[in-house]
Structure formats: C-alpha cells, structure tokens
Amino acid sequence: MNYRAIAKGLLQEHPQTIAVALARLEPEQAGEILKLLPTFIQADLVTRIVQIDQLPAEVVAEIDALLYQLLRLR
C-alpha cells in the first residue's frame, strides 16, 4: 500500500472526511497514514476519530468510494 500517495490524496479532503476515512481502515494502516500527515492536523484528526458516531449510510458510501480511489494509487 502506498501510504504516502493516500496521505497526499486525503489532504485535499475536509478533516472530518479524513477522520472517517482513517477510522474505516485497519488501525495499523491508519497509523501509518496519520504519521505522514502534517503534525498540525494529526491531533485534530485523532480527536475527530474518537468522536465519530453513527454516520448516514450515504456518507459512509461516499467515503468508501474515496478510500477505494485512493487505495488504487498504490
């Protein structure tokens, strides 16, 4: 998996979208990607991940599509 390409792609998204995307990955994968993101956003993302509740199915589907697209960059 090309973590650097995924991190670069995620940086173009809203922080809440990034947080949900990271939460949908395996913890090891999310951690590797999180380490590659700028330090100024890391703490915010971790806070957002912890606070994620139930999301509407259409939001999850959109984020899943984004993840699929980014994972294809590997």
Q: What is the dihedral of CA 66, 68, 72, 74, to 10 degrees?
A: 90
Architecture of domain 3-71: Orthogonal Bundle (1.10)
Task: Enumerate the domain spans of the chain.
Answer: 3-71
Return the half-sphere exposure (C-beta side, CA atoms, 13 A cut-off) of residue 74: 9
Whether the Cβ atoms of residue 20 and residue 52 lie closer than 8 Å to each other: yes
pLDDT in tens, the chain (74 residues): 799 999 999 999 999 999 999 998 999 999 999 999 999 999 999 998 888 876 788 888 888 898 888 877 65
| Dist. CA 35–CA 57, nearest whole Å | 28
What is the pTM for the complete model shown?
0.77
